[in-house]
Amino acid sequence: MISIRWFLTLTLIALLVLVSFLSSLRGYRESMTEAETLFDLQLLEHVKLLGLLNPASFLFGNTLVIADSVITTPAELELSLQLLVVYQIFDNQEQLVIRSENSPLQNMAPFEAGYHHAEFNGYSWRTLVAQDPLDGHWIMAAQRNDVRYRLAETVTLQAVLPGVIGVPIAGLLIWWIVGLGLRPIQTLAASVRAREAGDLQAVELDDIPKELTPLTLSTNDLLTRLAMAFDREKRFAADAAHELRTPISVLKVQLHNLQHDLHTRQLPVQTIQATQKSLQELGEGIDRLAQLIEQILVLNRSTPDQYMRQFIRVDLLALVQDVVSNEFEQILARDQNFSLDGLPAFVSGDETALRSLIQNLLINASKYTPVGGQIHVNIVSEGSKVLLQLEDSGPGIPEHQYEQVFDRFYRLSDEHHDASISGSGLGLAIVKHIADMHQADIQLSRSLKLGGLCVSIIFQAYQQEKLQ
């Protein structure tokens, strides 16, 4: 069902048309029958009037004879022709005495009293035959069936036509009335749509119809459960930050103290070297665990509604430069060549989230780009779009895995990727998550310039009206 309003309107109009059609059909048939009866009565009245004529006043002969007492003026003759009522009068010997101008010379119907159907002058006629009981002369009157039918149909259609014309008007009224009945639903939808992202209070509307009460209660129940779920999620993020960061910090302190004690003790060189290697690996493991926890917390804290309330004007070029300056030691440590092209380009977004996006892209590129490799970032602003593009000379990603790498904890494991490279499988998941929050389009492809992975993110350019 596309629309309740359309469904109700079309259904009611269909029922109205059906009922109107059946009523009109019945009315049409009954009206036609009544019209036939009226025309028969008209023929009967003509016969009665002709029966009142005095036969002695008739002028006999071979030519047309019209009694003055029947038609006295040319206007009356013309009226008779228009009505197409023809007549004949025969004596008791069945000899034609008088006839109307448009009647035949022979008798129009058999000399039998009653109604008949006859064919003459190229038309079908309805005839009435009567015999005078006093002197036995015959009177015949006739009307054309096509004229009777046309006149009856005209009168009937004039009665039925207003009902047919009224159907579109009724349809418009039904559309308006159905819309009026559905207005409380639109009011409820508008009330929910106009809320702030974090407003999960119960919906309160005045004069709610009883049919809409279950929907309102269900909506309020859903909002209550959502508010409780968000509260639990916030508490989890806060508790996790405290419960997980603290022991990791303690481990780092203990590791530092252990390294210090190692240097102060008199131990064999081989023992010291082996212990330092183990401590180094332990430190790297702790760092990976700390990074994993931070990334999980970022995913849990970075809800779209929460960040949209913090959107500001952000210069992507300046943000990339700032992130690169913080992560440049890792790039230098791997002797990688980094380049940046572009001009200031402004987007509407959350600066902290965008910083995390760029940082994850840069760390990911540096991690998988070999020593001495190249990393290139390009920022292009075109009209209402801003393109952030990062390319590297690493092994890239197989095309059939482009969608999978955005899944959480998914890591590539093939002959082109070193399994010893530390990582949690959350980097690109966070990038995709933040891009979705900013309604940006992210695309992966093979870098034509460097041969590795090319990540392209298309943002909407900053607009003052949109931000407000």
Under the banding of pLDDT at 50, 70 and 90, the label for residue 392 is: very high
Return the domain boundaries, the chain. Answer: 4-155, 213-300, 305-467
Q: What share of the chain in percent tops pLDDT 70?
A: 78
What pTM was computed for the model?
A: 0.48
End-to-end CA distance of the chain: give it in Å, rounded: 36
For position 228, what pLDDT does the model report?
83
Q: CB under 8 Å to 339, separation ≥6 — which residues?
A: 374, 375, 376, 377
Domain with residues 4-155, CATH architecture: 2-Layer Sandwich (3.30)
Q: What is the mean pLDDT of residues 330-349?
A: 88
For residues 29 and 384, the model is more confident at: 384
Which whole-number Å values give the CA distances from 230 to 55, 73, 302, 305, in the listed order? Answer: 110, 101, 12, 11
Residue 346's pLDDT is what? 92
Percent of the chain clearing pLDDT 90 (strictly above):
11
3-state secondary structure 293-342: HHHHHHHHHCCHHHHHCCCEEEEHHHHHHHHHHHHHHHHHHCCCEEEEEE
Q: Where do the DSSP E strands lie in 370-410?
A: 374-382, 385-392
- Average pLDDT over all residues of the chain: 77
What is the pLDDT averaged over residues 418-441? 77
CATH architecture of the domain 305-467 equals 2-Layer Sandwich (3.30)
